[in-house]
Chains A and B, each alone.
Chain A
């Protein structure tokens, strides 16, 4: 049964007067895994940021609906509390705030109550083990001095700890070594269930191994120019964007 979680209708997004997306129509149902591909600079990160509510991007037309509720004008923190999560392409460093403290604060913010100390500790250990992260990372300042790959793992750790309804993963696999990609995919599989959904932005098919991909979208020239099943991924990785875009033309 199709139950829409995210609906983008006739969305136009601009940054500093410059239109980057126009128009975007997209529906993601609960339980689905969507993949978003497209050439560098096509606007993939912009779309993810706009769904998250990044104030640098302005929705100049259209609507963003989550679980039937119009969130077009909702601030990012409220969206997060309603269940939207973005794994950043380049996560910020926050000196002086340990990963553990941050996760506790974030979990408290998203759930509306402070997590219990022992339960939180147990859960954190479990998820860090799953991602093969050394427990010492919990005591390190958030993303400060983390390698590119460690930052991405920390993003997936946040995904697992916050359990959002909708996860937007922006190139979480880029910069990861082969084993780390596997670990991240494991994390994504552990997160995914029939009630939530993923929009995965990637240039690489590796991260999708072992995931049941429902739809693949290709973004170019401000809009989604093609949508298809998982077979599109092979076409693109083998033949480049030219092969899939030319059919459209």
Chain B
């Protein structure tokens, strides 16, 4: 063939996410981290006293804790340069029309209000450090469901409940970035679903980090009582800057007896983001937590949602996909602790690496001696699109009970050239053929996502694949 095929990396068109507006902050703290900065944030946010004390203690833990020594390098992250708090130039609004134009345009371009009208029970939108818009359908509110920003909730009659749950599942001592989060957290969501209430359509939070060199530290606290049901969707993106941005959010989910929570995320941070996020669920007897997780963006990710199955018969399902391209090192996975009899976990993940990207999958399955008849299955498939990319599976198991059924399966593959030729013989260009194969590989995950997100994920895959063939 006369054609010369070569692989080269083109800057892909991310204009859908990459647009940005001038930083028009009402207030921001100096970069770096000192007790003064933490106090200023606390004051700005009108924290109750216990929260101010909590922050300062967390800062202390942060200062005494070393960086993780086992994951992708964090050398590009210099905390002295990170601005931990940027307040957008608006109060939180309940009417879309009242949100300032630049912020409104941002979310409109990301399709947020459209999605709300179409298929959501409630929406929260965070811009930099604060939630700028929050709205919940009346009929959902009337069922006693609370969905608001955490700051407002701290001054409501839920204050005591928050105090009892906030960072109890993920204590600041967990790791350095949990401590950081405890010190400077801002924004996020508080969701409370009373016993027996089933929220039929999803709630969604969207996080947008606009300011360069800033950090986003939103806290999501979800409490779902006995027999209730909730589907919560989280989306995140940011425009690209040349300086490192940091995301160290925290999600804590309390799943009550026989309750069910589904938590879906499509993360598409820009490729200068350090995404060091911590997510954890505590599941009571007969309860179910379902995680659906798509990781596409960020420069470096550490993301391993943990489920603690504390009650008998509690279940977890984790369905995840990670796609790492040039310059990305995405370390993702899932962790589960079986701490009661007949608990079960089912982890299915796919990871894709191309153009020198690194996509590692870590699973940790812990079965305590109390977890008689527990069941766990882990399956991880990875697809490497070229020889320069890397994808490893790192399973850890700690089983202290012999009456358990634990399975682990890992597969690493490449796109078969025969399959590419087969599709090309049906008229598809080489790029489309490869994208179709990768899309098919991701299909079992896409199936788990709400339709708009499945479409977005497919678009992201095509976007990511475009740069592959020159």
Contact = CB atoms under 8 A, between A and B. Distances in A.
Given A94-B440, A95-B440, A96-B442, A110 B427 contact: yes
Contacts of B418: 92
Interface in B414-463: 416-419, 421-430, 432-433, 436-437, 439-444
Contacts of A96: 439-444
Say what secondary structure dominates the interface of chain A.
Answer: mixed
B1 interface: yes
A97 B1 contact: no
B426 A109 contact: yes
A77 B424 contact: yes
Contacts of A73: 1-3
Interface in B235-287: none
B1 A77 contact: no
A96 B3 CA distance: 30
Contacts of A102: 426, 436
A76 B3 CA distance: 12
A97 B443 contact: yes
Measured as residues with beta carbon below 8 angstroms from the partner, the interface class of chain A is 20 to 34
A52 interface: yes
A25 to B, nearest CB: 22
A55 interface: yes
A162 B426 CA distance: 8
Nearest to A59: B1
B422 A92 contact: yes
A109 B419 CA distance: 17
A141 B440 contact: yes
Nearest to B350: A96
Interface centre among B418, B426, B429, B440 (most CB of A within 10 A): B426
Nearest to A97: B440
A92 B427 CA distance: 15
A80 B422 CA distance: 11
Contacts of A110: 426-427
Given A58-B1, A91-B422, A92-B419, A77 B428 contact: yes
Given A105-B436, A141-B440, A94 B1 contact: no
A120 to B, nearest CB: 15
A86 interface: yes
A54 B426 contact: no
Contacts of B3: 73, 75
Nearest to A143: B422
Task: Categorize the interface residue count of chain B.
Answer: 20 to 34
B440 A80 contact: no
Contacts of B430: 75, 77
Nearest to B438: A96
Contact of A158 (B426, B429, B432, B436): B426
Interface-central residue, B3, B427, B442, by most chain A CB under 10 Å: B427
B240 to A, nearest CB: 30
Interface in A63-114: 73, 75-77, 79-81, 84-86, 88, 91-97, 102, 105-106, 109-110
B470 to A, nearest CB: 15
Given A58-B1, A96-B440, A97-B440, A106 B428 contact: yes
B26 to A, nearest CB: 47
A86 B422 CA distance: 9
Given A92-B419, A92-B422, A80 B442 contact: no
A80 B424 CA distance: 7
A97 B421 contact: no
Interface in A165-185: none
A88 B423 CA distance: 11
A127 to B, nearest CB: 15
A22 B435 CA distance: 36
Nearest to A106: B426
B443 A54 contact: no
Nearest to A91: B422
Contacts of A56: 417, 421
A93 B437 CA distance: 10
Nearest to A80: B427
Contacts of A75: 1, 3, 424, 430
26 contacts: A53-B425, A54-B421, A58-B1, A73-B3, A75-B424, A76-B424, A77-B430, A77-B433, A88-B422, A92-B419, A93-B419, A94-B422, A94-B423, A94-B437, A95-B440, A96-B442, A96-B443, A96-B444, A105-B432, A105-B436, A106-B423, A106-B426, A106-B427, A106-B428, A110-B426, A141-B440
